[in-house]
Amino acid sequence: MIKPRILVTGAAGKTSSVVTSELLKAGYPVRAMVHREDSRSARLKTQGAEIAVTDMSDVERVADALKDVQRAYFCPPFDPYMIQGAVALRSPRRKPASNTSLA
């Protein structure tokens, strides 16, 4: 059985690099989307990943990276400030009114 080619975004990052390595070990063809060619992308290439250098905002290059891909693993970048902002914006829980009747 031929395994599907998988695109992994942010493949040089902490989470996605592990995902990429595990997929390659399992015999899946992987296209690793990275922001730049550096030692991390070189390590993925030596493991057997095909490297696609692009940014998610470059629609044409993302479309090129998706050619001949059957599956994709999207891992958004971790931004602690984004998480803190989301927590701060979360609405507080309301206490039920004690004098409410259910008539």
Q: Are 18 and 49 contacting, i.e. CB atoms less than 8 angstroms apart?
A: no
Q: What is the pLDDT of residues 25-67, one digit of tens each?
A: 999 999 999 999 999 999 999 999 999 999 888 889 999 999 9
Domains of the chain from N-terminus onward: 6-76 (3.40.50.720)
The two tokens of residue 78 are 């971790």
pLDDT value, residue 51: 97
Tell me the CA distances in angstroms from 32 to 61, 66, 91, 97, 103, one per residue in order: 13, 11, 38, 54, 61
Question: Which H or E run contains 39?
Answer: helix 39-47
Sign of the alpha-carbon dihedral angle for 25, 75, 77, 36: positive
Average pLDDT across the chain, whole number? 82
pLDDT value, residue 95: 53
